[in-house]
């Protein structure tokens, strides 16, 4: 009897392993057909904090202190990556623009240093072209509206440098948008979502063809943008609130609005957003994929690992080499090949193409060049050139006041004489 039981266990283990291998092989085959596009990776920030952006002192083939390096990218079949040009909220009202430009420069230099592995990309077609060349399409997303210093001109300049999405806030309010911490009560509500300038900024992003990223914003901002935007939106690295009730995640009613908007939610792998605890597993991440698919369909889901931007990642998803294992898990759970291919990259490519189509349709619209009101951004680190000159000639009302005083004094002097 013991021998029979042992044989049965061996056969079961063989069958289980064989089935698992089949799902992995199927996953790899699908990833050869469809580019895996990930919405958010913070390797540039790791290079900033560890090497002060001295890329000459780093070899991305051998760097092993990060979730991401070139061998791991190849093993993970990562076909396209939005690299985050992130700088902390502590730079707001100080040197956020300079710091962000340095991160943009770093991403360009990564592509120049490793031309056999990375291809700089600014369009949906670039992603397809890089995939055909067996290179990782490298796109830029600016993580945090504080990086543009409330300037549409700065936003347009960053677009010209290759930035293709802006995360409207990080973990601080900007002068025109409320961040996700407002929903926890730890940050004050300042704008009831978006200010008038913030609403204009969304339309300007639509006009120029920049993806609007709603990761990190308050629910009210999510709702307003989904009503305002003429183009599909993205959540570059957020998960499902119903699975883990963390305010960085997306509630079900917003998921449904994302479906109406034809947008995408790219699932985050950070343990705290996956299970609302310090620990998580690959299976827990797959639960978020399942939930988003159940609520709004497989057409709005994607991958947004947040690698190198988080301190804890799930068991089984330790670094970027593990994507095929997650794809295999979705197949094991009954996802069809079409649904998997949509999640891998076809959803993001569709969103990107739609954003580009809106840009093209708005090509005759003039850029919005009305600056944010000075009183909304005035601080000791900001000059006010271009606004009514309050230091020299004075405002129009002040000029009238000075003229009236001059006439009065002239009249008095005439009487005295």
Looking at the structure, tell me whether residues 168 and 305 fall in a common domain.
yes
Whether 240 contacts 249, CB under 8 Å: yes
Mean pLDDT confidence for 292-321: 98
Please indicate whether residue 237 is annotated as part of the active site. Answer: yes
Q: Residues 191, 237, 288, 291: which is the catalytic one?
A: 237
6 found inside a domain: no
Q: Residues 67, 77, 146, 170: which is the catalytic one?
A: 170
List all residues 6 or more positions away from 198 whose beta carbon is below 8 Å from its beta carbon.
Answer: 168, 174, 176, 177, 191, 221
Looking at the structure, tell me whether residues 196 and 297 fall in a common domain.
yes
Q: What is the pLDDT of residue 415?
A: 54
Q: Residues 40, 67, 191, 291: which is the catalytic one?
A: 40
13 found inside a domain: no
382 found inside a domain: no
12 found inside a domain: no
Mean pLDDT confidence for 93-109: 98
Looking at the structure, tell me whether residues 402 and 290 fall in a common domain.
no
Tally of domains in the chain: 2
Please indicate whether residue 40 is annotated as part of the active site. Answer: yes
5 found inside a domain: no
Please indicate whether residue 64 is annotated as part of the active site. Answer: no
Range of the domain at 412: 390-417
Portion of the chain with pLDDT greater than 70, in percent: 89
Q: What is the pLDDT of residues 351-406, one digit of tens each?
A: 999 999 999 999 999 999 999 999 999 999 999 999 987 554 444 444 444 444 44
CATH number at residue 197: 3.20.20.140
Please indicate whether residue 306 is annotated as part of the active site. Answer: yes
pLDDT band at 1 (very low <50, low <70, confident <90, very high): low
Q: What is the pLDDT of residue 20?
A: 73
Looking at the structure, tell me whether residues 300 and 417 fall in a common domain.
no
Query: How far apart (Å, rounded) are the C-alpha atoms in residues 214 and 258?
Result: 11
385 found inside a domain: no
Looking at the structure, tell me whether residues 204 and 264 fall in a common domain.
yes
Q: What is the pLDDT of residues 229-286, one digit of tens each?
A: 999 999 999 999 999 999 999 999 999 999 999 999 999 999 999 999 999 999 999 9
Tokens 């609007």 belong to residue:
212
Whether 141 contacts 40, CB under 8 Å: yes
Please indicate whether residue 366 is annotated as part of the active site. Answer: no
Q: Check pLDDT > 50 for residue 174.
A: yes
Q: Residues 306, 308, 339, 342: which is the catalytic one?
A: 306
Q: Residues 126, 143, 183, 284: which is the catalytic one?
A: 143
Looking at the structure, tell me whether residues 170 and 228 fall in a common domain.
yes
């Amino acid at each position: 009897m013991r021998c029979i039981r042992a044989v049965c266990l061996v056969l079961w283990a063989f069958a289980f392993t064989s089935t698992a291998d089949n799902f992995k092989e199927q996953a790899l085959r699908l990833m050869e057909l469809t580019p895996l596009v990930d919405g958010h990776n913070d390797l540039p920030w790791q290079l900033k904090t560890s090497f002060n952006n001295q890329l000459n002192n780093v070899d991305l083939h051998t760097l092993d202190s990060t979730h991401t390096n070139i061998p791991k990218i190849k093993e993970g079949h990562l076909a396209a990556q939005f690299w985050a040009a992130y700088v902390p909220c502590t730079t707001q009202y100080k040197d956020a623009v300079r710091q962000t430009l340095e991160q943009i420069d770093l991403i360009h230099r990564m592509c120049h240093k490793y031309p056999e592995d990375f291809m700089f990309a600014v369009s949906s077609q670039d992603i397809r072209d890089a995939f055909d060349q067996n290179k990782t399409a490298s796109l830029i997303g600016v993580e945090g509206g504080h990086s543009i210093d409330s300037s549409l001109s700065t936003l347009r300049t960053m677009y010209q440098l290759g930035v293709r999405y802006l995360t409207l806030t990080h973990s601080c309010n900007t002068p025109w948008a409320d961040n996700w911490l407002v929903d926890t009560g730890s940050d004050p509500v300042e704008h009831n979502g978006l200010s008038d300038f913030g609403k204009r900024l969304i339309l300007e992003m639509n006009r120029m063809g920049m993806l609007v990223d709603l990761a990190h914003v308050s629910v009210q901002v999510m709702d307003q943008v989904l009503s305002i935007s003429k183009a599909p939106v993205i959540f570059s690295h957020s998960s499902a609130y119903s699975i883990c009730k963390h305010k960085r995640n997306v509630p079900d009613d917003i998921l449904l609005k994302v479906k109406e908007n034809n947008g995408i939610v790219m699932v985050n792998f950070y343990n705290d957003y996956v299970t609302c605890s310090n620990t998580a597993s690959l299976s827990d991440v797959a639960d978020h994929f399942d939930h988003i698919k159940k609520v709004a369909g497989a057409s709005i889901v994607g991958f947004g690992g947040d690698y190198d931007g988080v301190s804890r990642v799930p068991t089984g998803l330790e670094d970027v080499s593990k994507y095929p294992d997650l794809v295999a898990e979705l197949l094991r759970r009954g996802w069809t090949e079409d649904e998997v291919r949509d999640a891998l990259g076809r959803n993001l490519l569709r969103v990107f193409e739609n954003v580009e189509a809106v840009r093209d349709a708005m090509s005759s619209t003039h850029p919005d060049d009305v600056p944010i009101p000075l009183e909304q951004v005035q601080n000791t680190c900001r000059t006010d050139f271009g606004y009514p000159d309050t230091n020299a000639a004075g405002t129009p009302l002040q000029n009238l006041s000075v003229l009236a005083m001059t006439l009065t004094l002239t009249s008095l002097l005439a009487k005295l004489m």
